């Protein structure tokens, strides 16, 4: 059964007067011989127990030795005895682990190839404080949990062992007995850096040999996040962006994506790529949002160094990388974190705090120091080891509220009687402080009215860099889905977002969640005939890029994917054979270019100083116009006409009496529009209108957004 909690007290070398007594447990051996460090025989070991315990004494001045094993089948091989090596965990490591403050946890727990006392091998360590026994099992010991029980550090509940000759790519798991000596299902390493592909679920030893060449990018990133910079994000699910139809419809690899995806994003003018979670996950259909390996890029697209290559390629091309990161919950798979040592270790024991009924998952115990340490170190691991530029934290609302999606009686209030998860709040604040200290950003996917999500922690905020503006997204998508004739009755949905637009540092997301589960694609939501649907979508994109707030588009939206997103198939790239889809793609490319090049469109995205309404109340015409302003006073004017009616001689106030020109018109023929436009130069008049000192008379194209600049 292997019930002994301190195998190093029995096995390996032990001083015995002028001799060293050595014991070894080799249940598969017919004989065991001691060798010196050069491999020369010293003495045969005596079997002292029929199940395979061997013993021998050697002179005390011999400190290094090896074992020669002869199996019952006659196979002979030599090994270094793992029980002669000390722990690779130093006193500072043990102290920080005990405090739950080891921010480089990934360097000490998990599997780490190293050389100890001149012998190459791998050090393994795992936290399982309530276990009766933890053994390392793998391909190197026939998955026999009797052969390599680990050393317990009782004060911190960490078990470790150094395994000579075990190295990169070797498969392993932990065999754990609970406190009552009941054998649990084999467990994957919570800090594994690489995982086996299904149907297996073992961890694999990994050692990076990657050389980074993004020094210039990282030096620049070392500064605090700059809210005045343009931020236009292309959200991607790596498994379905594009596939190799000529090779079994397989996924692209990280290295192929480094060539194809990066080049595409550069061409389209986005500033960042955001990846749906790349943390290892057992089920493709979870899209990565039920992670089981918080320290491992998924095996699906290659090795961890291949993912490093992808990030490096992004940075060399001037593209930032954001990953979705999921500290809210984890799946119940028996080989994962669930009841890891036979107890509710990572999760709350009380289901009223520890279970997500909606998702069938378990909730992390944010009040436990070791669990907080596990999650915080995971965040820093992606930032420091993979040079990730930002984390988009998923399902923040589910973390903040104890009664999230729970009926009365199904949740427990906090010590003040409220529904706020105070431990999760503390965790999130510390997370954001650490991430910012490491030069990266955070995004909160948070859908409630929790105050100051992007406010600084020193002033009571949660400390995120940005918050997803889910209210804006819901309101504007509902509006644009109305028939144009009815939009005047829903006009407030397009203006309400400006009531609170500067209460947070907002990002405007048109994300993957809006093109699945029967919601249709964005194009599919647009009413009317084909021309009106494409025109409405182009108008909406123009409104998005003119509106205050950073931008996000999910893949496929940029060329008007027709069907809903399906994670099992590639995007419908063949649609680009059609001019209407190429037109939308060209528009998004030009919108990104304008957004990046014109400071007025991005510098004051998060400040009321950068926005002013001109016309917000023309609901009968479904027209909106507004000013976007830069720090130096330069400005552009945005005008959206949400009806298919051409409006001639439409008078609109302007802030300066000068000439204007169209910088962008979503009705341009090159985008698939009707080609209605204004003169090359638009003269203003010294006629006050809409509380502005001058005005212009415009032709408003049907279903269009126009951006006007001062003519130079």
pLDDT at 712: 83
Q: CA–CA separation, 439 vs 431, rounded Å?
A: 13
pLDDT at 479: 98
Mean pLDDT of 83-110: 94
Res 10 pLDDT > 80: yes
CATH number for the segment(s) 7-81: 2.60.40.10
What number of residues does the chain have?
A: 712
pLDDT at 137: 98
Q: 695 - beta bridge partners?
A: 653, 685
- Superfamily of the domain at 608-710: Golgi alpha-mannosidase II (2.60.40.1180)
Res 255 pLDDT > 60: yes
Where does the pLDDT of residue 88 fall: very low under 50, low under 70, confident under 90, or very high at 90 and above?
very high
CA angle (576 as vertex; 575, 581 as ends), nearest 5: 85
Lowest mean pLDDT, pick from 36-45, 218-227, 356-365:
218-227
Nearest 5°: phi and psi at 63?
Answer: -105, -25
Q: CA–CA separation, 446 vs 468, rounded Å?
A: 6
Strand runs labelled E in 619-703: 623-629, 635-641, 647-654, 659-665, 682-683, 694-700
Where does the pLDDT of residue 2 fall: very low under 50, low under 70, confident under 90, or very high at 90 and above?
low
Res 106 pLDDT > 80: yes
Over the stretch 617-652, which tens digit does the pLDDT of each residue have? 999 999 999 999 999 999 999 999 999 999 999 999
Where does the pLDDT of residue 228 fall: very low under 50, low under 70, confident under 90, or very high at 90 and above?
very high
Over the chain, what is the mean pLDDT?
Answer: 96
pLDDT at 34: 96
Over the stretch 183-211, which tens digit does the pLDDT of each residue have? 999 999 999 999 999 889 999 999 999 99
Q: List, by residue number, the catalytic residues.
A: 394, 445
Do 7-81 and 91-204 fold alike per CATH? Answer: yes
Nearby residues of 60 by Cβ (< 8 Å), 6 or more positions away: 15, 17, 18, 19, 20
Q: CA–CA separation, 349 vs 164, rounded Å?
A: 38
Percent of the chain with pLDDT over 90: 95
* Domain residue spans of the chain: 7-81, 91-204, 608-710
pLDDT at 365: 97
> CATH second-level architecture of 91-204?
Sandwich (2.60)
Where does the pLDDT of residue 224 fall: very low under 50, low under 70, confident under 90, or very high at 90 and above?
confident
Contact 366, 424 (CB under 8 A): yes
Q: CA–CA separation, 648 vs 240, rounded Å?
A: 45
Over the stretch 331-385, which tens digit does the pLDDT of each residue have? 999 999 999 999 999 999 999 999 998 899 999 999 999 999 999 999 999 999 9
Select from 273, 277, 246, 274 the least CA-distant residue to 262. Answer: 273
């Amino acid at each position: 059964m292997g019930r002994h909690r301190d195998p190093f007290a029995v096995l390996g070398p032990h001083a015995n007067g002028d001799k060293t007594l050595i014991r070894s447990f080799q249940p598969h051996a017919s004989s065991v011989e001691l060798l010196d460090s050069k491999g020369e025989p010293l003495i045969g070991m005596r079997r002292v127990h029929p199940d395979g315990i061997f013993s021998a004494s050697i002179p005390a001045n011999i400190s290094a030795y090896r074992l020669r094993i002869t199996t019952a089948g006659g196979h002979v091989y030599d090994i270094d005895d793992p029980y002669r090596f000390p722990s690779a965990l130093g006193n500072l490591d043990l102290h920080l682990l005990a405090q739950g403050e080891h921010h480089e946890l990934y360097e000490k727990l998990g599997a780490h190839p190293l050389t100890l006392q001149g012998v190459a091998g791998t050090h393994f360590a795992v936290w399982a404080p309530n276990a009766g026994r933890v053994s390392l099992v793998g391909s190197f010991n026939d998955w026999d949990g009797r052969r390599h029980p680990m050393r317990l550090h009782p004060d911190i509940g960490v078990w470790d062992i150094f395994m000579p000759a075990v190295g990169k790519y070797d498969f392993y798991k932990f065999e754990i007995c609970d406190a009552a000596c009941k054998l649990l299902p084999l467990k994957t390493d919570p800090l594994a850096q690489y995982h086996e592909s299904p149907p297996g679920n073992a961890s694999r030893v990994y050692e990076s040999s990657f050389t980074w060449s993004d020094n210039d990018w990282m030096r620049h990133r070392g500064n605090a996040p700059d809210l005045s910079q343009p931020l236009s994000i292309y959200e991607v699910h790596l498994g379905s962006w594009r596939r190799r139809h000529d090779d079994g419809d397989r996924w692209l690899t990280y290295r192929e994506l480094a060539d194809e995806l990066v080049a595409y994003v550069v061409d389209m003018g986005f500033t960042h790529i955001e990846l749906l979670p790349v943390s290892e996950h057992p089920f493709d259909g979870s899209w990565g949002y039920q992670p089981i390996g918080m320290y491992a890029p998924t095996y699906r697209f290659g090795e961890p160094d291949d993912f490093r290559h992808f990030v490096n390629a992004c940075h060399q091309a001037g593209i930032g990388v954001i990953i979705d990161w999921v500290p809210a919950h984890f799946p119940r798979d028996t080989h994962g974190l669930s009841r890891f040592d036979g107890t509710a270790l990572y999760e709350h024991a009380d289901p009223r705090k520890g279970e997500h009924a909606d998702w069938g998952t378990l909730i992390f115990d944010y009040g436990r120091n070791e669990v907080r340490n596990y999650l915080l170190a995971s965040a820093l691991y992606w930032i420091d080891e993979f040079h990730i530029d930002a984390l988009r934290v998923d399902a923040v609302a589910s973390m903040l509220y104890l009664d999230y999606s729970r009926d009365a009686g199904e949740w427990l209030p906090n010590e003040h009687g409220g529904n706020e998860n105070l431990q999760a709040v503390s965790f999130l604040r510390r997370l954001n402080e650490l991430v910012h200290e490491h030069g990266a950003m955070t995004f909160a996917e948070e859908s409630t009215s929790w105050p100051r999500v992007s406010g600084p922690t020193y002033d009571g905020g949660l400390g995120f860099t940005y918050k997803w503006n889910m209210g804006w997204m819901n309101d504007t998508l509902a509006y644009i889905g109305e028939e144009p004739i009815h939009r005047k009755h829903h006009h407030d949905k397009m203006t309400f977002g400006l009531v609170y637009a500067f209460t947070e540092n907002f990002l405007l997301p048109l994300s993957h969640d809006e093109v699945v589960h029967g919601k249709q694609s964005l194009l599919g939501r647009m009413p009317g005939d084909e021309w009106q649907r494409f025109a409405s979508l182009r108008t909406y994109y123009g409104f998005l890029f003119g509106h205050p707030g950073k931008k996000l588009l999910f893949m496929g939206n940029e060329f008007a994917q027709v069907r809903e997103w399906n994670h099992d198939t590639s995007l419908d790239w063949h649609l680009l054979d059609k001019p209407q889809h190429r037109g939308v793609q060209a528009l998004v490319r030009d919108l990104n270019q304008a957004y990046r090049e014109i400071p007025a469109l991005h510098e004051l995205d998060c400040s009321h100083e950068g926005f002013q309404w001109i016309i917000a109340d023309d609901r009968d015409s479904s027209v909106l116009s507004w000013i976007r302003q830069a720090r130096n006073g330069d400005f552009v004017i945005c005008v959206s006409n949400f009806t298919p009616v051409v409006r001639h001689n439409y008078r609109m106030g302007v802030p300066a009496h000068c000439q204007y020109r169209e910088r962008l018109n979503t009705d341009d023929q090159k985008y698939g529009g009707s080609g209605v436009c204004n003169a090359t130069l638009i003269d203003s008049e010294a006629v006050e209108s809409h509380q502005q000192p001058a005005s212009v008379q415009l032709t408003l194209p049907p279903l269009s957004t126009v951006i006007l600049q001062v003519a130079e």
